[in-house]
C-alpha cells in the first residue's frame, strides 16, 4: 500500500532568487524533506512544471499527485526590481492563491507559511511590505484555529541576506518556534 501524502512531507519554495532557493533547498533537504520549487531549481530540489502567475493550484496539485503533503511553504515576494502597483497587488494575491490551493487540493493548510521579502527603499516596496504585514496579521487571526503558522522575513538584498533569510525560514518551519505566529523577522547583514 503506498504511503499517504500525510506521511510524505514536502517543502515548497515559490519564487525567490537563485541564491535564496539554493540555500533554503539545501537546509530542507539536509533535514530530510523533499523540496519542490517552481522557481530556480538547485540539485537539492524537484522542479515543478507549474510556474508563473496563477500557478499555485497547479504546483500544489502536482506535489499532492506525487504523493506528498506540503508541510512548509516558503514564498518569496516583491523581489522584482521593477515593481509596479499591479505587480505588487499580483504578488500579494499569489500568497493567498498558494495558501488556498494547498488547502483545496489536500484538505489541509501547510503547517508553516513563511513569506520572504527584500528590504528596499522605494515607495512601492514600502507599500507592498505594509500590505504583506497586514496580510500576515489577518491570515494569522483568521486561521488561528487551524494548524498553520504564518510569519514574514525581510532581508537585505545580498548573498548574506539570502543565506540568513533561508536559515530563518527553515527555523520558522522546524517546529522549534511553533508559538511564533504573525510576526516579522528583520534580518540584517551585520
Report yes or no: 163 and 23 within 8 Å, Cβ to Cβ.
yes
60 Cβ contact list (under 8 Å, min separation 6) = 12, 70, 98, 101, 102, 104, 105, 106
Looking at the structure of the chain, the number of domains it has is: 1
- Which residues span the domain enclosing 57? 5-186
Q: Residue 1 has what pLDDT?
A: 28
Model confidence at 41: pLDDT above 80: no
Q: Which CATH number does the domain housing residue 168 bear?
A: 3.40.50.720
pTM of the entire structure?
A: 0.90
Q: Which three cell numbers stand for residue 190?
A: 551585520
> Which neighbouring-strand residues pair with 11?
35, 72
Instruction: Write down the mean pLDDT value for the chain.
Output: 87
Model confidence at 174: pLDDT above 50: yes
pLDDT tens, residue by residue, 64-104: 998 998 999 999 999 888 889 999 999 899 999 999 999 99
Model confidence at 109: pLDDT above 50: yes
Amino acid at each position: 500500500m503506498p504511503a499517504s501524502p500525510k506521511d510524505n512531507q514536502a517543502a515548497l519554495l515559490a519564487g525567490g532568487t537563485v541564491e535564496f532557493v539554493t540555500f533554503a533547498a539545501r537546509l530542507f533537504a539536509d533535514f530530510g524533506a523533499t523540496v519542490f520549487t517552481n522557481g530556480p531549481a538547485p540539485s537539492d530540489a524537484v522542479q515543478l512544471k507549474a510556474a508563473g502567475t496563477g500557478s499555485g493550484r497547479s504546483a500544489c496539485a502536482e506535489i499532492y499527485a506525487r504523493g506528498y503533503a506540503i508541510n512548509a511553504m516558503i514564498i518569496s515576494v516583491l523581489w522584482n526590481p521593477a515593481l509596479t502597483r499591479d505587480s505588487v497587488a499580483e504578488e500579494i494575491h499569489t500568497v493567498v492563491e498558494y495558501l488556498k490551493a494547498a488547502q483545496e487540493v489536500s484538505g489541509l493548510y501547510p503547517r508553516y507559511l513563511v513569506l520572504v521579502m527584500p528590504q528596499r527603499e522605494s515607495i512601492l516596496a514600502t507599500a507592498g511590505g505594509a500590505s504583506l504585514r497586514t496580510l500576515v496579521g489577518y491570515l494569522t487571526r483568521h486561521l488561528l484555529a487551524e494548524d498553520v503558522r504564518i510569519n514574514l522575513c525581510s532581508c537585505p538584498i545580498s548573498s548574506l541576506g539570502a543565506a540568513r533569510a533561508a536559515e530563518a525560514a527553515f527555523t520558522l518551519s522546524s517546529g522549534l518556534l511553533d508559538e511564533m505566529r504573525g510576526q516579522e523577522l528583520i534580518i540584517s547583514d551585520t
